[in-house]
Structure 1
Amino acid sequence: MTGPLADPRFRRLLAGQSLSSFGDTALYLMLGIWAKELTNSNSAAGGVFLALGLPALFGPLTGHLADRVRRRPLLIGTNAAAGVVVLSLLAVHGRGQLWIIYAVAFAYGLASGILSSAGAGLRKSLLGPEQTASANAMLQTVSQGLRIVAPLVGTGMFVAFGGGSVAILDSVTFAAAIVALLTIRLDEPRGHAVPAGSPGSSGSFFADVTAGFRHIRSVRLLFQITVVTACGFTVIGLTETAIFAVVDQGLHRSPAFFGVLNSTQGAASVLGGIAVSFMLKRLGEARVVGLALAGFSVASLLYTSHSVVLCLIGSVGDGLGLVWLVVGLSTAAQVHTPSFLQGRVNAAWSMVVLTPQTCSIAAGAWLIAVVDYRVLLLAIVVVMAVCAATLLLKPAAAPAPAPESERQAPGIAAPSRL
Structure 2
Amino acid sequence: MRTVLRRPDFRLLFAAMVASMAAESILLLALAVWVKDLTGSDSMAGATVFAVIAPMAFAPLMGWVVDRYRRRPFFTAANLAAAALLGPLLTVRDRSDVWIIYLVAALYGLSSITVAAVLNGLIRHLVPADLLADANGALQTVRQGLRLVGPLAGAGIYAAVGGWLLVTLAMGGFLAAAAVVGLLPADESTPPEPGRRWPAGVGAGLRHLVREAALRRALVGYGLGSLVMGFTESLIFAYVDLGLHRDAAFVGVLVMVQGIGGLIGGVLSAAVVRRLGELGTLAAGVTFFGPAALALAYPRLWLGVVALLLAGVSLPLTMVGLHTLVQRWSPPALLGRVTAASKAVISGPQAVSIGAGALLVGVFDYRLLFALVGVVTTAAGLYLWRGRGLTPPGAGPTRVPRPRRPLDGERPHPVRVRPLDRFGQVSRGARRGAA
How far did residue 119 of structure 1 move? 0.9
How far did residue 288 of structure 1 move? 1.3
1:180-329 aligned at under 5 Å gives the runs: 180-192=180-192, 203-246=196-239, 258-304=251-297, 309-329=302-322
Number of aligned residue pairs: give it: 400
How far did residue 401 of structure 1 move? 5.9
Q: Secondary structure at the match of 1:149?
A: helix
CA offsets per residue over residues 366-407 of structure 1, 9 Å max, x none? Answer: 44555555554443223212111212244342272699xxxx
**Alignment match, 1:29:** 29
CA offsets per residue over residues 234-277 of structure 1, 9 Å max, x none? Answer: 22233334445555666666666555444333322221111111
How far did residue 10 of structure 1 move? 0.9
Paired AA for residue 281 in structure 1: R
**Alignment match, 1:172:** 172
**Alignment match, 1:387:** 380
On the 8 A contact 1:290/1:388 being kept in 2, the answer is yes
How far did residue 59 of structure 1 move? 1.4
On the 8 A contact 2:217/2:387 being kept in 1, the answer is no
Deviating more after overlay: 221-230 vs 204-213: 204-213
CA offsets per residue over residues 58-84 of structure 1, 9 Å max, x none? Answer: 111011011011222222222122223
Paired AA for residue 20 in structure 1: S
- Cα distance in 2, alignment partners of residues 260 and 301 from structure 1: 20
Match of 1:400 among 386, 397, 401: 397
On the 8 A contact 1:224/1:396 being kept in 2, the answer is no
CA offsets per residue over residues 39-94 of structure 1, 9 Å max, x none? Answer: 66665454333322222211110110110112222222221222232344445555
How far did residue 334 of structure 1 move? 0.5
| Aligned CA distance change for structure 1 residues 110 and 387 (closer, same or farther; 3 Å) | same
Q: Percent identity?
A: 37
- Cα distance in 2, alignment partners of residues 96 and 43 from structure 1: 16
- Cα distance in 2, alignment partners of residues 42 and 298 from structure 1: 31
Q: Does 1:82 align with 2:57?
A: no
How far did residue 317 of structure 1 move? 2.6
| Aligned CA distance change for structure 1 residues 2 and 342 (closer, same or farther; 3 Å) | same
**Alignment match, 1:107:** 107
Scaled by the length of structure 2, what TM-score is found? 0.81
**Alignment match, 2:429:** none
Larger radius of gyration: 2
**Alignment match, 2:325:** 332
Match of 1:349 among 330, 342, 350: 342
**Alignment match, 1:142:** 142
- Cα distance in 1, alignment partners of residues 49 and 298 from structure 2: 24
- Cα distance in 2, alignment partners of residues 169 and 214 from structure 1: 40
CA-based RMSD of the aligned residues comes to 3.2
- Cα distance in 2, alignment partners of residues 36 and 291 from structure 1: 38
On the 8 A contact 2:10/2:126 being kept in 1, the answer is yes
On the 8 A contact 1:296/1:381 being kept in 2, the answer is yes
- Cα distance in 2, alignment partners of residues 46 and 317 from structure 1: 27
Deviating more after overlay: 56-65 vs 385-394: 385-394
Paired AA for residue 82 in structure 2: A
Deviating more after overlay: 253-262 vs 269-278: 253-262
- Cα distance in 2, alignment partners of residues 306 and 97 from structure 1: 42
Paired AA for residue 214 in structure 1: R
Q: Which runs of 5+ in 2 are unaligned?
A: 401-407, 411-435
**Alignment match, 1:61:** 61
Q: Does 1:131 align with 2:135?
A: no
Q: Secondary structure at the match of 1:188?
A: coil
On the 8 A contact 2:28/2:151 being kept in 1, the answer is no
- Cα distance in 2, alignment partners of residues 367 and 95 from structure 1: 31
| Aligned CA distance change for structure 1 residues 115 and 315 (closer, same or farther; 3 Å) | same
On the 8 A contact 1:190/1:412 being kept in 2, the answer is no
| Aligned CA distance change for structure 1 residues 242 and 90 (closer, same or farther; 3 Å) | farther
| Aligned CA distance change for structure 1 residues 42 and 77 (closer, same or farther; 3 Å) | same
| Aligned CA distance change for structure 1 residues 310 and 330 (closer, same or farther; 3 Å) | same
Q: Does 1:51 align with 2:51?
A: yes
| Aligned CA distance change for structure 1 residues 221 and 17 (closer, same or farther; 3 Å) | same
Deviating more after overlay: 282-291 vs 31-40: 31-40
Q: Secondary structure at the match of 1:190?
A: coil
- Cα distance in 1, alignment partners of residues 188 and 57 from structure 2: 29
| Aligned CA distance change for structure 1 residues 157 and 138 (closer, same or farther; 3 Å) | same
- Cα distance in 2, alignment partners of residues 334 and 87 from structure 1: 34
CA offsets per residue over residues 147-191 of structure 1, 9 Å max, x none? Answer: 232233223323323444333322211111111111111212220
- Cα distance in 2, alignment partners of residues 368 and 87 from structure 1: 38
| Aligned CA distance change for structure 1 residues 384 and 190 (closer, same or farther; 3 Å) | same
| Aligned CA distance change for structure 1 residues 306 and 158 (closer, same or farther; 3 Å) | farther
Higher relative contact order (CA 8 A, sep 6+): 1
- Cα distance in 2, alignment partners of residues 375 and 30 from structure 1: 32
Paired AA for residue 69 in structure 2: V
Q: Secondary structure at the match of 2:68?
A: coil
- Cα distance in 2, alignment partners of residues 106 and 364 from structure 1: 23
**Alignment match, 2:17:** 17
| Aligned CA distance change for structure 1 residues 178 and 47 (closer, same or farther; 3 Å) | same
On the 8 A contact 1:12/1:184 being kept in 2, the answer is yes
- Cα distance in 2, alignment partners of residues 41 and 235 from structure 1: 26
On the 8 A contact 1:45/1:241 being kept in 2, the answer is no
On the 8 A contact 1:148/1:266 being kept in 2, the answer is yes
